[in-house]
Amino acid sequence: MGVGTLTGTGPGASRGATGEAGAERAEEGLWRRRLRHDIRHELGTIIMLASAVVVADDIGDTSRGRVEQLLGETRWLDHLLRQLDDGDGPDRDDGRALPAPERIRVDDLTAEVVTGMRLATPHEVCFTGGEAWAHMDPVALWRAVRNVLDNACRVAEGRVSVRVEADQGWIAIQVDDDGPGFGADRGTHRPGLASLGLGIVHDLISGYGGSLEIRTCEMGGARVRMLLPAAPPPDPPPDPAADPRADDWRPYP
């Protein structure tokens, strides 16, 4: 009696399946790279057009400010896309290293996000904050603040308050809203988006030594508080007047 074999179970078939899977991954990777190339091209076109409008003489100050905000948002998207490119190599996985931290003005970056959000929501978005420094990747902080603020504006009834302050060695970014609060019936709102966004925020903030706190605020809605270890401000530039050689000029010859 002859010895039978099951089709597709031999070593050669296994290698063939592995080869097919590898080819599919390579094809998918090529498709993703081409798609990102096209996205970057379109972003570049928008940046170029917006830059031309900003310096045009036939628009008013209000429109110019809106275009500048659009330009800023587009540049953040370009930074985000570049990080995606950097983290999409064949040896990268979910355990990839975080981008190197930089010393950044947390209040300035948060204020920029707030200004952009004011153009995209009918709600009142208030901001207060003083000088605050932390070590973090700027794109990661932009993503975190944008996610929290977007969630707040989505569920708010009419008002969102954003505050940045130093608190016992920590920088606190606090976002309050007058919505129904966490755990309440959000009606037509989509809590799944909020849950996903807060998960992203937690991972971004905790990756740089920070933490995320959630509670009910005095406005009746949710309070989301992002805490980051405070960093010292950069050293001030040297004062030329303090240099005794600054005015040590002599006629020549």
- For residue 20, what are its two tokens? 């097919």
- 124-129 and 133-136 strand pairing: unpaired
Rounded distance between C-alpha atoms, residue 239 and residue 122, angstroms: 46
Evaluate whether 179 touches 150 at the Cβ level (below 8 Å).
no
Condensed to tens digits (0 to 9), the pLDDT of residues 76-104 reads 777 777 777 766 543 344 556 788 899 99
In degrees, rounded to 5, the angle at the alpha carbon of residue 72 between the alpha carbons of residues 71 and 73 is: 95
Rounded distance between C-alpha atoms, residue 188 and residue 201, angstroms: 23
135 membership: H or E segment, kind and range: strand 133-136
Rounded distance between C-alpha atoms, residue 164 and residue 2, angstroms: 79
Sequence-distant contacts of 93-97: CB under 8 A, at least 24 apart: none
Q: Label residue 13 by pLDDT band (50, 70, 90).
A: low
Q: Label residue 191 by pLDDT band (50, 70, 90).
A: very low
Query: Does position 247 have pLDDT exceeding 70, yes or no?
Result: no
Residues 6 or more apart in contact with residue 193 via CB below 8 angstroms:
151, 154
Amino acid at 60: G
pTM for the whole structure: 0.66
Higher-confidence residue: 250 or 89? Answer: 250
Evaluate whether 125 touches 118 at the Cβ level (below 8 Å).
yes
Question: What separation, in Å, do the N-terminal and C-terminal C-alpha atoms of the chain show?
Answer: 112
pLDDT the model gives residue 16: 58
- Of 40-49, 109-118, 205-214, the poorest mean pLDDT is in 40-49
Rounded distance between C-alpha atoms, residue 24 and residue 233, angstroms: 50
Crossing angle of helices 61-86 and 138-155, in 10° steps, is: 120
Condensed to tens digits (0 to 9), the pLDDT of residues 62-72 reads 787 777 777 77
- For residue 51, what are its two tokens? 């830059």
Task: Calculate Rg over the CA atoms of the chain.
Answer: 26
Query: Does position 8 have pLDDT exceeding 70, yes or no?
Result: no
Evaluate whether 210 touches 225 at the Cβ level (below 8 Å).
no
